[in-house]
Amino acid sequence: MSAPRLLVLDTASDSCAVGLSVDGQLFVRFEQTPRAHTQLILPMIQSLLDEAGMGLGQLDAIAFGRGPGSFTGVRIATSVVQGLAFGLDVAVIPLSSLAILAQGGYRLSGCPVIHACFDARMGEVYAASFGVDDNGDLRVQGQEWLGNPQLAPLPDVGNWVGVGSGWDQYHAILSGRCPASGWQHLPGLLPRAEDALVLALAAWRRGEAQGVESIAPIYLRDQVAVKPG
């Protein structure tokens, strides 16, 4: 089977990450910019296509970070993918934004168990643990979770790595709940396109591409801001 031509994008965090896989060759763009996703995302996609020397009509599928994460960021990614996929009549591959973050932790550390954690604001975090399966693919262990960092479920194995803005923001709380040894924290990590491409290609091989009409953002909560009492 020839390698698919996949476009990936994630805007669920402070980063705007876009990537393209063409016949096994990877092209990526990354900008750390909390409030400029709408201005950057389409020019970044076009820049990748120009570099690869191809058009949107040559894509086999589009993958995207479906959340959890920033409400606005998740909506941006979802709406861009819906518009492109409907117009091009191509399949889509929803990816957990926490999984994209975890894949980066795995790439950097080589540790097969990663605890990914986003700062969800309002004193809460989005969190999930991921592990490498028998095929070498990173898969979620349990469920994605939202709540107080003092209650966030942590891996129950001997060696693991914590990554994400949740760890950066609530390091004292989370580390205080960890064992004396066997874990580490990689600070400052954001979702990157190269990691999204790894997950998207694995999902493509597993036959997980789907019709665009079936996709939806994953927020884990409906409340956007603290309401005055």
Q: Tell me: the pLDDT tens digits for 48-62? A: 999 999 999 999 999
Whether 24 has a pLDDT exceeding 90, the answer reads: no
Q: Are 106 and 112 spatial neighbours (Cβ–Cβ below 8 Å)?
A: yes
The region that residue 49 occupies, defined by phi over 0 for left and psi between -120 and 50 for alpha, beta otherwise, is: alpha
Whether 225 has a pLDDT exceeding 70, the answer reads: no
> What topology is assigned to 97-186 in CATH?
Nucleotidyltransferase; domain 5 (3.30.420)
Edge to edge, the sheet with strand 61-65 lists 25-32, 15-22, 6-10, 61-65, 91-95
Find the range with the poorest average confidence among 19-23, 30-34, 98-102, 125-129: 30-34
Radius of gyration of the chain (CA): 17
Mean pLDDT of the chain: 94
Query: pLDDT-based confidence at 158, cuts 50/70/90?
Result: confident
The pLDDT assigned to 133 comes to: 95
Indicate the SS3 state at residue 55: coil
Whether 3 has a pLDDT exceeding 90, the answer reads: no
Least Cα distance to 130 among 149, 148, 146, 117 occurs for 117
Spell out the domain ranges in the chain: 6-96+192-214, 97-186
Whether 227 has a pLDDT exceeding 80, the answer reads: no
The pLDDT assigned to 1 comes to: 55
Least Cα distance to 155 among 163, 147, 42 occurs for 163
Query: pLDDT-based confidence at 169, cuts 50/70/90?
Result: very high
Higher pLDDT, 74 or 158: 74
- Cα dist from 95 to 57, 65, 78, 138, 217, whole Å: 22, 5, 11, 12, 10
pTM of the model: 0.94
Backbone angles phi, psi at 131, to 5 degrees: -135, 160
The pLDDT assigned to 223 comes to: 45
Whether 30 has a pLDDT exceeding 50, the answer reads: yes
Indicate the DSSP class of residue 4: P
Backbone angles phi, psi at 117, to 5 degrees: -150, 115
Whether 179 has a pLDDT exceeding 70, the answer reads: yes
Classify 6-96+192-214 by CATH class: alpha beta
> What span, in angstroms and rounded, lies between the C-alpha atoms of 138 and 199?
8
**Span 139-163, average pLDDT:** 96
Q: Are 226 and 122 spatial neighbours (Cβ–Cβ below 8 Å)?
A: yes
> What span, in angstroms and rounded, lies between the C-alpha atoms of 213 and 216?
9
Among residues of the chain, what percentage have pLDDT more than 70? Answer: 96
Which residues 6+ apart lie within 8 Å of 217 measured at CB? 66, 67, 74, 75, 77, 78
Indicate the DSSP class of residue 94: E
Query: pLDDT-based confidence at 224, cuts 50/70/90?
Result: very low
The pLDDT assigned to 35 comes to: 84
